């Protein structure tokens, strides 16, 4: 696997890949008004989205916020539907094939084939191993308060720059990471 992502941005900017991203984005949301409105003129909406990205005119829409209370109270910021399609495309075409393999083996959240159940299974396996070697061991269960809101987007961008050699992809990544930041000192990325 190459160390850097090269020459793939425009190759992956296809109608078929955006249709697939649309189907992933609408999963469990197909009866929402904005999804229905987007699908009424699906082909034109997808083509317009692709053209705006190609022409460098694509900008993220405005977030709308809402609270969820499971498992604890959190503020979620959601983008308009077309931006969620773009995120699905970006994750599937660039993050999963190029960045995901670089993560440690014990990364579980939001990764296909892993997730909570696999994490629990792996934890139990490790507990049995440790118990054999040392019956007195401790496990720390913790949560980092407001983790996403403490991420510095400029540091995240510098990390991504280490893996991206495609100029168009790097500029697009910058657009997604620094979305609507008024200053370079503004920290935090929204929970989407």
pLDDT tens digits in sequence order for the chain, 192 residues long: 557 899 999 999 999 999 999 999 999 998 999 999 999 999 999 999 999 999 999 999 998 888 988 878 888 888 999 999 999 999 999 999 999 988 888 888 878 888 889 999 999 999 999 899 888 888 888 888 888 888 899 999 999 999 999 999 999 999 999 876 655 567 888 766
In the chain, the largest separation of any two C-alpha atoms, in whole Å, equals 63
| Pairs from 144-148 (Cβ < 8 Å, separation ≥ 24) | 148/188, 148/189, 148/190, 148/191
The C-alpha angle with vertex 105 and arms to 161 and 17, in degrees rounded to 5, equals: 55
The pTM of the full predicted model, rounded to 2 decimals, is 0.86
User: In this structure, are residues 24 and 18 in contact, taking their beta carbons and an 8 Å threshold?
Assistant: no
């Amino acid at each position: 696997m190459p160390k850097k992502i090269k020459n793939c941005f425009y190759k992956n900017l296809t109608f078929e890949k955006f249709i697939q991203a649309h189907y992933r984005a609408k999963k469990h949301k197909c009866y929402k008004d904005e999804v229905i409105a987007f699908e009424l003129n699906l082909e034109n909406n997808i083509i317009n989205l692709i053209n705006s990205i190609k022409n460098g005119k694509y900008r993220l829409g405005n977030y709308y916020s809402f609270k969820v209370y499971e498992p604890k109270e959190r503020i979620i910021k959601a983008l308009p539907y077309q931006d969620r399609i773009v995120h699905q495309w970006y994750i599937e075409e660039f993050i999963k094939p190029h960045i995901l393999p670089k993560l440690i083996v014990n990364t579980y959240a939001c990764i296909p084939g892993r997730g909570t159940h696999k994490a629990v299974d792996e934890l139990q396996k490790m507990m049995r191993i440790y118990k054999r070697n040392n019956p007195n061991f401790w496990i720390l269960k913790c949560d980092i308060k407001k983790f996403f809101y403490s991420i510095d987007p400029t540091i995240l961008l510098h990390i991504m720059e280490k893996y991206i050699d495609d100029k168009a992809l790097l500029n697009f990544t910058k657009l997604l990471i620094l979305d609507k930041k008024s200053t370079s000192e503004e920290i935090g990325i929204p929970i989407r």
